[in-house]
Amino acid sequence: MSDIIQLLPDHVANQIAAGEVVQRPASVVKELLENAIDSQATNIKLIVKDAGKALVQVIDNGIGMSQTDARLSFERHATSKITKAEDLFNLNTKGFRGEALASIAAIAHVDLKTKQETDELGTFIKIEGSALISQEKVSTPKGTSVSVKNLFYNIPARRNFLKSNSIETRHIVNEFQRVALAHPSIAFSFYHNENEIYNLLSGNLRQRIVAIFGKKTNEKLVPIQEETDVVVINGFVAKPEFAKKKRGEQFFFVNDRFIKNAYLNHAVTSAFESLLSGGYYPTYFLYLTVPSKSIDINIHPTKTEIKFDDEKTLYAILRSTVKHSLGQYNVAPVLDFERSASFDTPYNFKEKTTQTPKVQVNPDFNPFKNEPQNSMSAPFKKEPQQQWESLYTGIDVQQIEVESETVHSSLFSEEKSKSKTYQVHNKYIVSSIKSGIVYINQYLAHQRILYEEFLENITVKDAMSQQLLFPLEISFNKSDIHLIKEIKEDLESVGFLFDKIAEDIIVVKGIPVTITESQITIIIEQLLEDIKNDIPDASFSQLDVMAKSLAKSLAIKTGTKLDLKEQEEIVNKLFICKQPDLSPFGKTTFVTVSIEEIDKKFNN
């Protein structure tokens, strides 16, 4: 029998490695940005076209590479970061995988231009699908420029699995924000389809957070600072009143590397215990500095998950640090054990001394004798009781009206017995039908009603809008503002009216008649989140997502008590919908129980 095991060709091995390193365009962005940071760059520019499918380009002013290094950088297992296995546990740099550029070059067209400061000419390398097309000298500025074009051009199946441009762009923005937040001393700029999304100047951490998430963020931040032998913690948390219903603005950095850690996230959340309403999440930007040897960052290919030597100690320190800072800045109540006890003493009694009360005792007092022995027993003399009948003299008892609970012979009151509906546990509406009983989930049913109303308003007729007495100004980060501009016309067709859409704020002057002013911010934030996660490319689907999001936000919640008129209105409107049996998200809105099913319960 012939041998069947063989070594894979390099280009195939590179494509397989690319599956771990390059999952989507955002993976390329992360790798190239981290390489630029390791090159000691002070200014980094990211240029993206068609959500990274057509182009991802990173330009830096770092130290650049020699001609030999430029060529070796595309070889597998090539890195300048480690020389022996022990170096893996003492890393202070970013890109050390040694397969990033090789994997990217295996599935894309890559152009590399680089030049060191001491060289007169730089190096230009062109690679397509791991194959070297050309290498030559070229005039280029100091630093490195890497252009990745036509990602997954030779793996059509992987390209077909990419999401819509909106979703892929969101992933790129997320990666850019994480890298920019980790390095506030480096200037970053980001361009998508020739539109400037971010232009971040070099500064401190607070300035970087404000530049990314808007000017209004500055007033929300509470500084966090703690230094121990185990960990040094710096950063900010947002005040509880600015908590959001989404987890988007939660950032952990360990040794300037973004990580995800549910255990540490729980530590921060528990520090906000009793300060947040249900369903709201705190916003935080926390930077942990720990010894390199105390963590393992090689447990996940994307390096976003790391293992700590002593997580329990980190949990306790982080939780107490956040809780202390919230109390220190009068955000949360705290106990001050060093406070003088005199602060609790009323002012009028502050200078007074205590006096022992005088007690007088009559040794001859006998409570069983009818007559008092002396004057001292007088206070204990019992006055004779009046006859109780005299208290009611002159009152006609028959004229007294006594308030009592009226007992009806029927199970429900007379008013309710006339109604066709009843509400059960402020969650279900019960109504009788010819064949039995129908149970309607009020929240899901109202979602269906509102969904079809909004969809009709968007696609068929203009929705009614109510003018605000005072226009409302809402702050958003630049990527959200960019998305609002894209869906502005659709929002206006629902009933929103905008006075201004600026760089990091919007001014709302009109809202749909179905919502209140206090709901505006929550609804728009939820809408943006739903669109980022669910929107396909089709224009009608974008409107559909909008109608679903608005219906979900405005539907009558479980636990809301409805009067008879509101119950009947939901029942009547539900059964004139085009698809009354399902909510916009595919959940059952009502169930029926037949008379036969009820009879079986009693015959068992």
* pLDDT for res 42: 94
Please give the distance of CA 57 from its chain centroid, rounded to a whole number.
29
HSE at residue 72, side-chain half, CA atoms within 13 A, is 10
pLDDT band at 391 (very low <50, low <70, confident <90, very high): low
The owner of tokens 């590479």 is: 65
- Identify whether the C-beta of residue 243 lies closer than 8 Å to the C-beta of residue 280: yes
- Identify whether the C-beta of residue 255 lies closer than 8 Å to the C-beta of residue 287: no
The pLDDT tens digits of the residues spanning 282-294 come to 889 999 998 887 7
Q: 159, 164, 27, 29: which is closest to 531 by C-alpha?
A: 164
Q: How far apart (Å, rounded) are the C-alpha atoms in residues 542 and 549?
A: 11
* pLDDT for res 464: 73
The pLDDT tens digits of the residues spanning 39-83 come to 899 999 999 999 999 999 999 999 999 888 888 888 876 665 555
- DSSP per-residue string spanning 434-466: TTEEEEEEHHHHHHHHHHHHHHHHHHTSPPPEE
Domains detected in the chain: 10-200 (3.30.565.10), 213-328 (3.30.230.10), 428-590 (3.30.1370.100)
Q: What average pLDDT does range 522-534 have in this prediction?
A: 77
198 φ, ψ (degrees, to nearest 5): -135, 145
The owner of tokens 């999952």 is: 23
Q: Is the pLDDT of residue 189 over 70?
A: yes
The pLDDT tens digits of the residues spanning 467-481 come to 888 888 888 888 788
Q: How far apart (Å, rounded) are the C-alpha atoms in residues 140 and 134?
A: 16
Question: Which one has a higher pLDDT value, 19 or 492?
Answer: 492
- DSSP per-residue string spanning 201-251: PS--HHHHHHHHH-GGGGGGEEEEEEE-SS-EEEEEEE-GGG-BSS--SEE
CA distances to 325, 414, 509, 522 from 492, in Å: 42, 47, 11, 17
The pLDDT tens digits of the residues spanning 324-367 come to 888 877 655 544 444 455 555 555 555 666 677 777 777 777 77
The owner of tokens 């894309």 is: 108
- Identify whether the C-beta of residue 438 lies closer than 8 Å to the C-beta of residue 591: yes
**Mean of all residue pLDDT scores within the chain:** 79
Provide CB contacts within 8 A for 371, sequence distance 6+: none
Q: Is the pLDDT of residue 588 over 60?
A: yes
Q: How far apart (Å, rounded) are the C-alpha atoms in residues 179 and 185?
A: 11
Question: Which one has a higher pLDDT value, 125 or 464?
Answer: 125
Q: Is the pLDDT of residue 384 over 70?
A: no
Provide CB contacts within 8 A for 235, sequence distance 6+: 205, 223, 224, 253, 284, 285, 286, 287
Q: What average pLDDT does range 273-279 have in this prediction?
A: 78
Q: How far apart (Å, rounded) are the C-alpha atoms in residues 130 and 329?
A: 56
CA distances to 74, 135, 147, 497, 557 from 69, in Å: 9, 13, 17, 56, 62
Return the top range by mean pLDDT from 41-55, 213-227, 416-430, 484-498. 41-55
The owner of tokens 């951490």 is: 205
Q: Helix, strand or coil for residue 278? A: coil
The pLDDT tens digits of the residues spanning 401-430 come to 555 444 444 444 444 444 578 888 889 999
- Identify whether the C-beta of residue 69 lies closer than 8 Å to the C-beta of residue 126: no
The token duo for 404 is 């009592």
Share of the chain above pLDDT 90, in %: 23
* pLDDT for res 412: 40
Q: Is the pLDDT of residue 318 over 60?
A: yes
260 φ, ψ (degrees, to nearest 5): -120, 125
CA distances to 54, 131, 273, 499, 508 from 108, in Å: 10, 10, 49, 44, 44
Question: Which one has a higher pLDDT value, 600 or 137?
Answer: 137
Q: At what angle do helices 478-486 and 165-182 cross, to 10 degrees?
A: 160
* pLDDT for res 504: 80
CA angle 500, 505, 509 (to 5 degrees): 40
Cβ neighbour number for residue 328 with a 10 Å cutoff = 13
- Identify whether the C-beta of residue 489 lies closer than 8 Å to the C-beta of residue 458: no
Q: How far apart (Å, rounded) are the C-alpha atoms in residues 434 and 423?
A: 19
The token duo for 160 is 């077909």
Q: How far apart (Å, rounded) are the C-alpha atoms in residues 368 and 391?
A: 30
CA distances to 42, 178, 604 from 282, in Å: 32, 18, 53
Q: How far apart (Å, rounded) are the C-alpha atoms in residues 21 and 167?
A: 19
549 φ, ψ (degrees, to nearest 5): -65, -45
The token duo for 381 is 């003399």
Q: What average pLDDT does range 118-139 have in this prediction?
A: 91
The token duo for 197 is 């999304």
- Rama region for 253: left / alpha / beta (φ>0; ψ in -120 to 50; rest): beta
Provide CB contacts within 8 A for 298, sequence distance 6+: 88
Q: How far apart (Å, rounded) are the C-alpha atoms in residues 430 and 582?
A: 17
**What pTM, to 2 d.p., does this model score?**
0.67
Q: Helix, strand or coil for residue 284? A: strand
